[in-house]
Amino acid sequence: MKEQDSERNMEDIQNIEKLQENPESSNKSTDTDSDTLSSRVTQELQQIKEKLSQTETHYLRVLADYQNLQKRSAQEKEDLYKYAAQKTIEVILPALDTYDYAKATIKPDSKAEKIIEDFNLVFEMLIKCLKDTGLETIEETGIPFDPVYHEPLHQIPTNELPDHTIMQVLKKGYILNKKVIRPALVTVSVKQEESPPEPIGSA
């Protein structure tokens, strides 16, 4: 054991002496490691810069697409409001054409019956066109009062009709695609109070 320890000590001493004799070899090794580390750090920094540049480019592209989408959506919304009535107008154009035709046929010597006939034709055409858009009228009488479809203007006491029955439509109501856009203005029946019998001998 002592001999082995002695040999190790001798080797250590020899190594130290070699380093003392040639210190530049140790410095060269240290310098090489430092250069390698510096090169690696430089490469990693370059890779990070490239990734950041790619990320920034992608972000700017996505931002530009989003801004274009916002502008396009705003323009589409504006056009929607501007031309919302276009389809309805296109539907009623035949009624306007019929009106122009009827108006052109009226002469100073036209008979009243002919004018009324043309007027009714135009009105019927207009109603037909509006029905094609989903419009329905509320004008039926003799049915129970419904606050969804009717707005009462007068109440008339009577026992000839059931209580709260539509007696007269003063102004038509309208429904558009199952939605009430204006209830009908109506007269409604109410139960008439019976007069108390006159006392006997009151005459």
| Contact of 193 with 157, CB cutoff 8 Å | yes
| Contact of 157 with 195, CB cutoff 8 Å | no
**Listed residue (25, 5, 2) closest to 13, CA to CA:** 5
- pLDDT interval class at 168 (50, 70, 90): very high
Is the pLDDT at 75 greater than 70? The verdict is yes
**Cα separations (Å) of 113 from 98, 119, 121, 126, 156?**
17, 10, 12, 20, 36
Q: What is the mean pLDDT of residues 169-181?
A: 95
Q: Specify the range with the lowest mean pLDDT, choosing from 55-59, 105-109, 142-146.
A: 105-109
Q: What is the mean pLDDT of residues 97-111?
A: 86
Compare 12 and 188 and report the one with higher pLDDT: 188
Residue 2: its pLDDT value, please?
47
Beta bridge partners of 154: 187
